[in-house]
Structures are given as structure tokens and as C-alpha cells.
Chain A
Amino acid sequence: MKYQRKKIRKIGDLIRICLLQVIILGCVISHICVLAVHISNENRYSYGLIGEFVDDVGRDVNESVDEWMKDATSRFAEYLEKLEHLNNEYVEDIVRVNPDLLSEMNIVDSNGIIKYSSVPEYVGFDMASGEQSAEFMCLLNGEDYYQQDIRGNSYDESIRMLYAGKAFSDGSGFVEIGITEEKFFEGMSEILSSVVKNRRIGLTGCLMIVDGNMDIIGSSGEMYNGRKFDAPGILPDDDGADKQSKTKLFGQKCYIVATKSSEFYIVGCYPVSEARRNYLIDRLLIFLMNAAIFSAVFLVLSFVLKRHVVHGIENINASLSRITEGDLEEKADVRTSLEFGELSDGINDTVDRLKTLIAEAESRIDEELETAKSIQRDSLPKVGDAFRKRTDFGLYASMDTAKLVGGDFYDFYFLPGDILAVTIADVSDKGIPAAMFMMRAKSILKGLAEEGLSIDRLVTEANKSLWENNEGDMFVTVWMGFIELETGKVRYVHAGHTCPVRFNKDGAELVKQKRELLVGGMPDAAYHEQEMTLKPGDTLLLYTDGVTEAVDRNKEEFGYDRLLELLSGMPDRDEDTDPSGYCQMVCERVHEEVMSFAEGEPQADDITMLCVRYEGKRGR
């Protein structure tokens, strides 16, 4: 049974293809998962990055603002403490000459009442009475400095001011200075613009500081300085928490984090395109790593599968195909796993069982063949000692069968008129059919001879008979002769058989006259009688091609020449040997010679011989 290898793939290839599909699918899924996580992390990472910058700037802004106010307040407190006399006009003057720093100045006594002020209406105002101003009372309780955020003051909510206060060192009260929102932003913008001027997020990301009026007072590289901030929606509410967003800012889509620090908004933006670019490289690396890992997994898995499964199957298959080709000694021996071990054992057991069955069947067939052989042998006339008493002629015949049942036969019998009929024949096949055909041929020939037919008619009729129900499927080569014992005249038909040898003490020759067609091969073949005369002392050897076609180990045939040489050198019968004994000796010598020529090569064909020694009247 042969599979069409083009249509059905090998299991190794199938497994590899399946594995490859699974691995590719796994690789894609894994990559998608990693990518999804990575994309969601891109937001987190970007916001984190911006957040740090924004927080840094926020702290710097806080510090700058606090420092600026504290510095200004401390300087005024120090200056005022040195003065001996103080009045409202003087305080007004101080405010007037420091327009950038001051919008308002109040001197508060140790009871919390405004003593002097640049705004005359404020004089006498009790600081503890207003919510905003009351916060400064801490300066009378040991605090040295206090600063507020911008808000409306206690006197008039519409006046938005930034207040800071410092206690006098002698405990006589404190000074409170105030600066209007506009002046504060104006003053701070110069200071704060430097905070972000040289800072950047990544390569193209930008930091900016926006004041309460939505003016951009500082930006990375002073890119946006002086412009209005056009997206107030992204700024945090007053609760102070950072606000993250991803939106367009100045025409570019950015990740944005905004925070509020001391009245200013710190905005950090990081263009999405740059973030993408950075992460693209990461993603490429992740993809390559993914591909490398899955390739490695594929290689390892296919190696393992090949080693443990495919090799096993291939080995088992190889063993099986050797077994199906007829090598029953082959053992399947794959022990890489329990399953393959069991499979191997199963195959070996099956083959062993098969061998036993075959051996049983063989021995049964052998027995039958042996029986067939013996039936065949028994059908041939016995040589025995029947002719030992005849001195006018001698006869001996032998058949050494090859292993198979053959189709050779010899026959001899007397016919009326002191005629000895001798036949040697060879059926063109071996085995039981040939043996049966041989029996048929033998009985037809003998039957017709006993009916008294002349030898040529006899063979012609036998040919017709054997053709029927056979039609040339089998044929038989025949040499058949009627020997007149009185005269030594031999009438014979030579139908496709090997040429007999006639020899005497002077030499040997092939009886090689007209040879006619073998018997049973053609329906209307006609056979002709031929004649020769044996002289007393002549011996005629009939044989089958088992003699001449016996081969030695070089495949050389024994051949006619060796046979003629052997027979021409054969010693003549001595007085002590009866003619049949002489014939026996001839047959045995030829057999020996053929056997020693073949030197143990297996005998391919039956070796059949029939030897007739003619003595004629001489012997009587």
C-alpha cells in the first residue's frame, strides 16, 4: 500500500505547520496585549513625566514668590524700625516712591489697631474684626512673618490684594504691606519667566507659567511669552489638584498637566507626536523581543516534537516498511517513550505471531508438497531388478528432484513385438500444476502407445489432447522412442526436448536430427517419425535440461560439451556388470559430475535421466 505522498503531508510537517500557526497566533495576541498595556501606560508615563516638571516649576514659583514678598516685607520692617517718628504722610511717601513693590502699607500696633496707613481711611481699623485681616493677628503672638494669597481685603472685598506682614523686633506691633494683583503679576512676571525659560520636557515639550489674567508670563525658550493662554478649560479648579488632559494646545496635540502654585498656573505640555516617536522605538524593541522569544519557543518545541514524536514515528515506519518488504527479522525498537515502546512491542509481537503462522503454514505446505512429490515419484515405473536378468539390453532411470515439485518424468514399458518404449519429458513449469500436467501427459502418451498408434501419430494426438483445456498455458518437451529389441532400430519423435547422447567405446554424439515443436503449445502441430539404429554396445542417455543447465557459482552452465566429454570417456561395460548395472553406473557418474560441477549451488531443476544399453543378439 503506497500513499500518495504529494497529497498527504508528513506528520513532522503537519505538526510544524500547526505549531507555527499557534506560535504566530500567540505572538500576535501577546504583542497586542503588550501593546495595549504599553499604550495605556504611554498616557501614564507621559503625565508622570510632565507632572514632575510641573511640580518642580510649581515649587520654584512658590519659592520665588515667597522670597520676593518676604524679602520686600523684611526690608520695609527693618527700615521702619530705624525711624523715630512716623506718620501717615511718611507711610504714603514710602508707598509712592516704591510703586513697583507697594500698593499699600499699614503699621499695626500691639493691640491690632492700624496706627498708620498709606490709605488714611484704614487708620483705626481693628485687624481682628475682619476675616482676612484677622489672620495677621498671629504676628502679635510670636509669629515673625505671615503671607496670604491674593484676595479681597476685609475693608473692601472688591480690592484684590496680596498681603504680607512682619512683626517688629521690639514687639510693638507689625508692618503689613499689600500689593495689588496687577502689580504683583507685573512684578513677578519678570522673575518667573526665567524659571521656565531654560526648561524643556523632552525635545519639543514646553512648560509655561500663566498668571490669573491668562497672560503667559513665562515659557520654555520664551516661545509663548506675552500671549494669551487660550485654553482655560484645561487649568485646574481652585481645589489645587493637578489636572491632566490630552488636547490641542497652540495647534499641537499634547499631553498636558496643569497645576496651580501661588496664584500662577503652571502648564506642562508634551506633544503626543514626540511621545509616540519615543514609544515607537520601544514598541519595535518589544515586537522584536516578542518575535525572538516565540521563534525560540517554536524551535525548541519543534525540536522536542521531532526528537520525541516524529523520529519515533519515522523509525517505526521504516521498520514497518522493511517488514512489509518481507524482512520478518526486522525489530521495531523505539524506546523514547512508553507509548512508542508499547507500539514497538506490539509490532514485534505481531510479526512474531505472523512468523509462527507462516512457519506453520509453510510446514503444512511442505508436507503437502512432500506428499505430492512422493505421489509423483510413485507414478514413475520402478527400476528395480526387473531387467537385471535381461542381457540383450539394460535400463536404468533416476530422478533427483529440486526443492519444488517439478514436471520432469520418465517412462518405459514394453509394447507388443518386443518393443521397449522409452520416454523422457519436461513440463514447462514447476509446482503442483506442473506435476498434474505431467501426470496427464504421461498417461495420455502411454495410453495412446498401448492403443498401438505409430509414434508420430501418437505424439500428434497427444499434442491435441494436451492443448485442450490448456491452450498453451503449459507445454511439455518430449523425447519418445520405440526400440525394437530384435534389431536395435529406434523410431522416435523429438519434440522440443534436449538431445539424447548416444555413446559407445569409440565416442559420444548428440542425437541431433530434426527437432520438432514441444507438445501442448500449438493446436495443430504435426510430428514426424525419425529413425536410428543402435548397434550392440551402444548406450543411449536421455536426460532433461537439469543436467545441461546446471550452473556453477559463476553461472556457467554444465552444457553439452562437458556431457559429451564425460560420456565419451566412460569405460565400456565389463563382463561382470549386467547391462542395467552399467546403465545405473552411467547415471550415477553423470549425476556425480553435475553435482561436483555445481559445487553446492542450489539445484534449480530436476535432474532426470534414463539410460538404455543395447546389447542385441550379442547378449543373448
Chain B
Amino acid sequence: MLSIDYTENGADAKLALEGRLDANTSKDLKTKVGEIPESILNIDMDISKLEYTSSAGLRVVLQLHNQLNQRGGKLVISHPNEVISEVFEDTGLSDCLNIVR
């Protein structure tokens, strides 16, 4: 199960994820991310309550990161738990993503 809470404020948006980001739920996230308008430049993605992410989940996050970069914006990922931090480390993503612990 994954619950996605999305709020907009001008060019900024907040995206709070809770639950598990696996092969199935990452499709939901991908749909949600696809609906985010072009006008949004900066997204603060709060994943403090995200328990797990699969590589499919990483793909969506990476895509969002690249999308916002192209627009001149920024994706900030805040408060990943230990398991997910480790995944970011393992995949080398921790070096290129903006992660706030």
C-alpha cells in the first residue's frame, strides 16, 4: 500500500509518501507524477514514512529528478529511513540526488 499526499504552492509542491513503493504502487506514483503540471519547479518529497522502495520506485524518483532538472527546478528528498538510505547508497543515487537527512 502506498498513500500519496500532494499539495501545491505556486511553483513549489510537496509530495509526501507513506507505505511501500514496490512494482505495483510505483505505477500509481508514476501516474501521479505525470499529472504534475509543467509550472511546478521545485518539489519537496517527504519520504520519512516510506518503508521500502524497489528499483521501479527508484526509477520514478530518478525520472522526477531529471524532469525537474530539465525545467531548471529541483527535487529535494527529505528524511529517508535507514533501509532506503542504504538503497540510495548502494545505487550511487545518494551522490546525485538532493537528499536531506
Contact = CB atoms under 8 A, between A and B. Distances in A.
A495 B92 contact: yes
B56 interface: yes
Interface of A: 426, 428-430, 471-475, 477, 494-499, 515-518, 521-522, 525
B95 A521 contact: no
B59 interface: yes
Interface of A is mostly: loop
A424 to B, nearest CB: 14
A504 to B, nearest CB: 24
Contact of A515 (B23, B63, B89, B96): B89
Given A517-B91, A517-B95, A430 B62 contact: no
Contacts of A525: 96
A277 B23 CA distance: 83
B55 interface: yes
Given A517-B96, A522-B96, A496 B90 contact: yes
B19 to A, nearest CB: 14
Interface string B60-101: 001100100000000000000000000001111101100000
Interface of B: 23, 55-56, 58-59, 62-63, 66, 89-93, 95-96
Contact of A516 (B58, B59, B92): B92
Nearest to B89: A515
Given A428-B56, A515-B90, A521 B23 contact: no
A489 to B, nearest CB: 23
Given A473-B63, A522-B66, A517 B92 contact: yes
B66 A496 contact: no
Contacts of A494: 92
Nearest to B91: A496
Given A471-B66, A477-B55, 4 more contacts: A428-B56, A496-B91, A498-B90, A516-B95
A430 B96 CA distance: 25
Given A475-B62, A498-B90, A521-B62, A428 B96 contact: no
A525 B92 CA distance: 11
| Residue with the greatest number of chain A CB neighbours at <10 A, chosen from B66, B92, B96 | B92
A471 B67 CA distance: 10
Contact of B23 (A430, A471, A522): A430
A441 to B, nearest CB: 14
Contacts of B59: 428-429, 472-475
